[in-house]
């Protein structure tokens, strides 16, 4: 019995470009499967088994490679965001403009919904000369910063605290508290003789700030913010 011949047009196309056949993953799988069926169920193809294992390992390697590349791009984008925010923060020549930018352009660059700056003060009235900017600047009693960061628990106070929330703090976020689902809290050191401060970034996205995220970029931002604030406090 003669073996049916392949269509001449198809055969000529394959002979002209055999490399294209090897580069087509799905086609190679179909050819290997056809070869396995032709061999029958009583024959074990060790080479085919080895190739299948290598293919699975290659797939896992490609997935890992894509994840690494994606993480690198995300980190680069985050770095650019922080750098742009710092440059915008250094532009104002007046403290009032500095606060307006903080709650406006800086928040937009960082893609957060709310930014709040809290300064501790020993003054009993806790009032400022910037009442029109109370949506950005808040004055609190000494000890407020650590209490807010630890939520009243006996835990270590870190420079950067990231956490998810069921609802935002009503004092910190006021009318926006119900929408805040995650926040980044940056403790600020203004140098000897000055009480600490707190910069809080709130987001409606519960995954924007989570405890398992890295804090290097936010720590870098906090350091630059401290230096900018010392200029005004002086």
Poorest-pLDDT segment among 89-93, 165-169, 198-202? 89-93
DSSP state, 3? P
199's enclosing H/E stretch is strand 197-203
Is residue 35 situated within a structural domain? no
Pairing mode, strands 160-164 and 137-140: unpaired
Scanning 104-215, the segments in alpha helix (DSSP H) are 105-110, 144-150, 170-173
pLDDT at 22 over 60: yes
Four-point Cα dihedral 192, 171, 175, 87, nearest 10: 10
> Which two three-digit tokens encode residue 200?
């809080």
> Which two three-digit tokens encode residue 16?
């002209």
Strand partners, 140: 120
> Which two three-digit tokens encode residue 76?
């680069």
Question: What is the number of other CB atoms lying within 10 angstroms of the CB of residue 164?
Answer: 15
Residues 6 or more apart in contact with residue 95 via CB below 8 angstroms: 130, 232
Predicted local distance difference test score (pLDDT) of residue 1: 46
Domain that holds residue 158: 70-233
Is residue 40 situated within a structural domain? no
Is residue 29 situated within a structural domain? no
SS3 116: strand
Is residue 41 situated within a structural domain? no
CATH code of 222's domain: 3.30.450.40
Give the mean model confidence (pLDDT) for residues 95-103.
87
Predicted local distance difference test score (pLDDT) of residue 82: 85
Whole-prediction pTM value?
A: 0.67
Dihedral sign, CA of 208, 190, 174, 110?
negative
pLDDT band of residue 118 (cuts 50, 70, 90) is very high
DSSP state, 141? -
Is residue 130 situated within a structural domain? yes
Radius of gyration, alpha carbons of the chain:
30
121-164 pLDDT, tens digit per residue, is 887 655 555 556 778 898 899 999 999 999 878 888 899 999 99
Is residue 62 situated within a structural domain? no
Domains: count for the chain: 1
Residues 6 or more apart in contact with residue 118 via CB below 8 angstroms: 137, 138, 139, 140, 144, 145, 148, 172, 197, 198, 199, 200
Is residue 123 situated within a structural domain? yes
Phi-psi region of 193 (alpha: psi -120 to 50; beta: other; left: phi over 0): left
Question: What is the number of other CB atoms lying within 10 angstroms of the CB of residue 214?
Answer: 11
Question: What is the number of other CB atoms lying within 10 angstroms of the CB of residue 176?
Answer: 16
Q: CA 199 to CA 179: how far, in whole Å?
A: 18
């Amino acid at each position: 019995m003669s073996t049916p011949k392949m269509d001449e047009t198809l055969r000529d196309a394959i002979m002209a470009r055999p490399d294209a056949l090897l580069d087509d993953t799905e086609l190679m799988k179909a050819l290997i499967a056809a070869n396995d069926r032709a061999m029958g169920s009583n024959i074990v193809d060790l080479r085919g088994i080895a190739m299948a294992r290598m293919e699975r390992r290659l797939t896992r390697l490609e997935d890992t490679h894509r994840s690494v590349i994606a993480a690198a791009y995300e980190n680069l984008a985050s770095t650019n965001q922080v750098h742009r925010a710092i440059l915008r923060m250094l532009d104002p020549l007046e403290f009032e403009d500095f606060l307006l930018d903080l709650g406006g352009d800086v928040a937009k660059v960082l893609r957060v919904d709310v930014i709040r700056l809290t300064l501790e003060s020993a003054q009993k009235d806790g009032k400022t000369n910037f009442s029109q900017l109370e949506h950005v600047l808040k004055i609190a009693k000494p000890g407020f910063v650590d209490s807010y960061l630890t939520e009243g628990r006996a835990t270590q106070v870190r420079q950067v605290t990231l956490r998810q929330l069921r609802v935002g703090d009503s004092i910190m976020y006021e009318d926006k508290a119900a929408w805040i689902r995650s926040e980044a809290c940056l403790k600020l050191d203004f140098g000897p003789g000055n009480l600490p401060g707190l910069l809080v970034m709130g987001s409606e996205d519960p995954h924007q700030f989570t405890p398992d995220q890295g804090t290097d970029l936010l720590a870098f931002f906090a350091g630059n913010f401290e230096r900018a604030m010392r200029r005004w406090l002086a």
